C-alpha cells in the first residue's frame, strides 16, 4: 500500500492503481494452485493484466498455473484469453472493460505456463521445485480444506525455503478456519512450515479502494478524527447487503453460512478501518498491531445480540428468486443462515458505550456495502419556538459499493421567512474526482504481496481475535435451528434484525437512498 499520490493533482493515468510513481515489483514466479478455477480466471488473471498495463510487473515476471486438470499451457492461455474477451461483453459485470488492451494481454499471455500436478503427490511437488527458481509467490486458490495440507507439501518439497536475497511467500485465501479452534489449528499448521513474514492471508475487502480510503479519510484530514469517539458518536452501522443469492455455491455455503462467510473477515475489516486507533505509520506491523488492539477490545458477542435469518422465495429487483432451501446443493431442511445481524461492544476508551451494529445477507432488496456513523443529536434549545422542534442527527456514510465515496447528512435552513431546518446531503463521489479504471480489486493486493508489503493482509493474531469475538454465537447456534428466522427474498432482512436495534431505540439506515 502506498500513499504517495500527489493530492493536488488527482491521478489521470490510464491505470489508476497503484498510484503513479510506484515501481515495478521485483522479478518473481507466481505459482497459482487452482489454476483452472474460477478465482484465477475471474480475478487473478485480470488483476495481472491491469498491473501489466500499468507497467508494474518486471520483465522477468512469470506465472505458473498448477492444477490437477490435464492440459497444456496453450489451452490454459486460450481459455483465459476467452474469459478476458467476455469481460468486454457485460457492462454490468464485476469487471467490465470496453476493450482489451492487446499489448498488455500479450505481455501477460507470453508469461503464462501450466503444469498438471497433484499437490498431494510429493514426487510431483519435487518436480515442481525443479521448475521454480528464484523469487516465488505461491497462491493457494484452492478450497479451504486444502490450505493446511498444501502448505505442508510446499514445505516437504523444499519450495518455501528462503535463501539470502530470495523470497518465498504464500498467499492464503479465505475462509481461514471455520471457527476459533479450527483457525488456531490452521495457523499452527501453517506456521510450523512458514515464518509469519512469508504468509499473506488475503481478505479481498482490503483490496477495495473505498475500504482503504477510510484510513485516508480519517487520518488525512483534521475535520473528522477529533469527533471520532464516544463523546460525539451515538453508534455505527456496518452493512454488506447483497441482492445475489447463493446461486451455484450451495456446496460451499451450506457448511459456511453468512456469519462465517462475511463477518470475522470482511465486516471486521471495515470495522477495523473505522474503529482502530491511528497507527504511527502504514507499516505492516504497526497497522496490524493497531487492528489487533481493537479486536482484542471487542467483547465476545452474546448470542442474544445476534440474529440469523434465511431467505424464502421472493422477488429481487423484479426477478423471481427461489428459496435458499431450493437452491442447488442445499438441503431441503437446511438451517444455514443467509443473513446475520449482530451488535458489538468495544471496551476501550474511544468506543466505550458506542455499539457497532453489523449486518449482512443475501437475496436482499438492495445491494450496498457501507458504514454509517451516526452522531449524537445537537442540543435544540436555540430552535425552541421555531418550526424546528427536533433535529435529525448528523450521519457520515462511507459508501464502499456500488456507490463509492462519502455522504454527510446535515441540517440546513429551509429557504423562507421561518427558521425551519431540513436534512440535506453533501456528497463526494470517487468518479467525480478521479478517473476510475476498471479493476477487480486484487491488483493492489497482488502488487503488495510481490513487493513484500503485508499491511493489507491478516496476521495470525488478527484472524484469531476476530474469530474469538464471534465464537460464542457460532457455538450457541451449533447445528440447531433455534432462533432462525425466515425472510422473503427482496426485503431488508428478518424482523429480528429490526428488533435488535429497536430495543436500543435505534433503526437501520434504509437500504435505498443516498
Ligand atoms: C466473498 C463471499 O468472500 O465475498 C461471498 O464468499 C460474497 O459470499 C463476496 O458474495 C462479497 O464480495 P464483494 O466484493 O462482491 O462485495
Q: What is the pLDDT of residue 448?
A: 96
**End-to-end alpha carbon distance in the chain:** 29
Residue nearest to ligand 1 atom 5, measured at CA: 261
| Alpha carbons 379 and 411: distance in angstroms, whole number | 13
| Alpha carbons 219 and 210: distance in angstroms, whole number | 14
C-alpha cell at 77: 492461455
Between 49 and 480, name the one with better pLDDT.
49
Q: Closest ligand 1 atom, CA of 249?
A: 8
Q: Is the CB of 439 under 6 A from ligand 1?
A: no
Domain 29-204 in CATH: superfamily? Answer: NAD(P)-binding Rossmann-like Domain (3.40.50.720)
Instruction: With both helix axes pointing from N to C terminus, report the angle between 45-53 and 443-451 in degrees, rounded to the nearest 10.
Output: 80
Classify 277 as helix, strand or coil. coil
Binned at pLDDT 50, 70 and 90, residue 514 comes out as low
Q: What is the pLDDT of residue 382?
A: 73
Q: What is the pLDDT of residue 17?
A: 46
Q: Which of 42, 256, 266 to mutate to test the pocket of ligand 1 (most atoms within 8 A of CB)?
A: 266
Whether 134 contacts 167, CB under 8 Å: no
| CA distances to 100, 107, 413 from 88, in Å | 7, 19, 47
Q: What is the dihedral of CA 132, 133, 135, 141, to 10 degrees?
A: 0
Q: Is 235 a residue of the active site?
A: no
To the question of whether residue 119 is assigned a binding role by annotation, the answer is yes
Q: What is the pLDDT of residue 310?
A: 98
Q: pLDDT of 269-281, one tens digit each?
A: 999 999 999 999 9
* Type and span of the H or E element at 237: strand 233-241
CA angle 9, 11, 13 (to 5 degrees): 135
Q: Is the CB of 173 under 6 A from ligand 1?
A: no
Q: Is the CB of 203 under 6 A from ligand 1?
A: no
pLDDT exceeds cutoff 50 at 7: no
Q: What is the pLDDT of residue 15?
A: 39
Q: pLDDT of 388-429, one tens digit each?
A: 667 788 999 999 999 999 999 999 988 988 888 888 999 999
Binned at pLDDT 50, 70 and 90, residue 362 comes out as very high
Binned at pLDDT 50, 70 and 90, residue 86 comes out as very high
Cα of 67 to ligand 1 centre, how many Å?
24
Cα of 14 to ligand 1 centre, how many Å?
27
Cβ neighbours, 10 Å, residue 444 = 24
- List the one residue out of 252, 244, 485, 467 whose CA is nearest residue 369: 244
> The cell 433455534 sits on which residue?
482
Q: Is the CB of 209 under 6 A from ligand 1?
A: no
Cα of 327 to ligand 1 centre, how many Å?
18
The class that CATH gives domain 208-374+459-502 is alpha beta
- List strand residue ranges (DSSP E) for 173-212, in order: 199-201
DSSP classification of residue 391: -
Q: pLDDT of 99-120, one tens digit each?
A: 999 999 999 999 999 999 999 9
What's the whole-number mean pLDDT along residues 168-179?
Answer: 96
Q: Which of 15, 235, 266, 345 is catalytic?
A: 266
Residue nearest to ligand 1 atom 6, measured at CA: 261
pLDDT exceeds cutoff 50 at 156: yes
Cα of 240 to ligand 1 centre, how many Å?
9
Binned at pLDDT 50, 70 and 90, residue 387 comes out as low
Binned at pLDDT 50, 70 and 90, residue 252 comes out as very high
pLDDT exceeds cutoff 60 at 68: yes
Q: Is the CB of 261 under 6 A from ligand 1?
A: yes
| Alpha carbons 474 and 259: distance in angstroms, whole number | 8
The H-assigned helical ranges of 55-135 are 73-86, 102-109, 122-131
Work out the mean pLDDT of the chain and round it to a whole number: 92
Partners of 237 in the β-ladder: 357, 372
Cα of 244 to ligand 1 centre, how many Å?
10
| Alpha carbons 365 and 37: distance in angstroms, whole number | 30
pTM, two decimal places:
0.93
pLDDT exceeds cutoff 90 at 349: yes
Classify 441 as helix, strand or coil. coil
Q: What is the pLDDT of residue 421?
A: 82
Residue nearest to ligand 1 atom 4, measured at CA: 262
| Alpha carbons 196 and 464: distance in angstroms, whole number | 14
Domain range annotation of the chain = 29-204, 208-374+459-502
C-alpha cell at 280: 504511527
To the question of whether residue 427 is assigned a binding role by annotation, the answer is no
Binned at pLDDT 50, 70 and 90, residue 21 comes out as low
Amino acid at each position: 500500500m502506498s500513499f504517495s499520490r500527489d493530492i493536488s493533482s488527482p491521478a489521470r493515468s490510464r491505470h489508476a492503481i497503484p498510484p503513479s510513481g510506484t515501481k515495478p515489483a521485483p522479478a518473481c514466479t507466481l505459482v497459482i494452485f487452482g489454476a483452472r478455477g474460477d478465482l484465477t480466471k475471474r480475478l487473478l488473471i485480470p488483476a495481472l493484466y491491469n498491473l501489466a498495463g500499468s507497467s508494474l510487473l518486471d520483465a522477468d515476471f512469470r506465472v505458473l498455473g498448477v492444477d490437477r486438470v490435464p492440459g497444456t499451457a496453450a489451452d490454459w492461455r486460450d481459455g483465459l484469453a476467452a474469459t478476458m474477451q467476455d469481460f468486454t461483453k457485460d457492462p454490468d459485470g464485476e469487471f467490465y472493460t470496453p476493450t482489451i488492451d492487446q499489448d498488455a494481454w500479450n505481455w501477460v499471455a507470453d508469461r503464462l505456463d501450466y503444469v498438471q500436478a497433484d499437490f498431494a503427490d510429493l514426487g510431483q511437488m519435487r518436480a515442481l521445485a525443479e521448475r521454480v527458481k528464484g523469487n516465488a509467490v505461491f497462491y493457494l486458490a484452492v478450497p479451504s480444506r486444502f490450505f493446511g495440507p498444501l502448505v505442508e507439501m510446499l514445505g516437504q518439497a523444499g519450495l518455501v525455503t528462503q535463501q539470502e536475497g530470495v523470497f518465498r511467500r504464500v498467499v492464503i485465501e479465505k475462509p481461514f478456519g471455520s471457527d476459533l479452534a479450527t483457525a488456531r489449528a490452521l495457523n499452527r499448521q501453517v506456521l510450523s512450515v512458514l515464518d509469519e513474514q512469508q504468509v499473506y492471508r488475503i481478505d479481498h475487502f482490503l483490496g477495495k479502494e473505498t475500504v482503504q480510503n477510510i484510513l485516508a479519510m480519517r487520518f488525512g484530514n483534521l475535520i473528522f478524527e477529533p469527533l471520532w469517539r464516544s463523546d460525539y458518536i451515538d453508534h455505527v452501522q456496518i452493512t454488506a447487503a447483497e441482492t445475489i443469492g447463493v446461486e451455484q455455491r450451495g456446496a460451499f455455503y451450506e457448511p459456511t453460512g453468512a456469519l462465517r462467510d462475511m463477518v470475522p473477515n470482511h465486516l471486521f475489516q471495515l470495522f477495523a478501518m473505522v474503529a482502530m486507533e491511528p497507527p504511527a505509520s502504514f507499516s505492516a506491523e504497526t497497522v496490524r498491531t493497531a487492528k489487533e488492539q481493537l479486536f482484542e477490545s471487542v467483547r465476545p458477542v452474546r448470542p442474544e445480540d445476534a440474529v440469523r435469518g434465511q431467505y424464502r422465495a421472493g422477488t429481487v429487483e423484479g426477478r423471481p428468486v427461489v428459496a435458499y432451501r431450493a437452491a442447488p446443493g442445499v438441503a431441503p431442511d437446511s438451517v444455514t443462515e443467509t443473513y446475520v445481524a449482530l451488535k458489538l461492544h468495544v471496551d476501550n476508551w474511544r468506543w466505550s458505550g458506542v455499539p457497532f451494529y453489523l449486518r449482512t445477507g443475501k437475496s436482499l432488496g438492495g445491494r450496498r456495502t457501507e458504514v454509517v456513523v451516526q452522531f449524537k443529536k445537537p442540543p435544540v434549545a436555540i430552535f425552541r419556538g421555531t418550526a424546528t422542534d427536533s433535529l435529525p442527527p448528523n450521519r457520515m456514510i462511507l459508501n464502499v459499493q456500488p456507490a463509492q465515496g462519502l455522504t454527510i447528512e446535515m441540517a440546513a435552513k429551509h429557504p423562507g421567512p421561518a427558521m425551519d431546518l431540513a436534512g440535506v446531503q453533501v456528497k463526494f463521489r470517487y468518479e467525480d474526482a478521479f478517473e476510475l479504471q476498471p479493476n477487480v480489486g486484487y491488483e493492489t493486493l497482488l502488487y503488495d504481496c510481490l513487493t513484500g508489503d503485508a499491511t493489507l493482509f491478516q496476521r495470525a493474531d488478527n484472524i484469531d481475535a476476530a474469530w474469538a469475538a464471534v465464537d460464542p454465537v457460532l457455538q450457541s447456534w451449533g447445528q440447531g435451528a433455534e432462533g432462525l428466522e425466515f425472510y422473503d427474498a427482496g426485503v431488508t432482512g428478518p424482523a429480528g434484525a429490526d428488533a435488535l436495534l429497536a430495543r436500543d431505540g435505534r433503526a437501520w439506515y434504509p437500504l435505498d437512498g443516498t
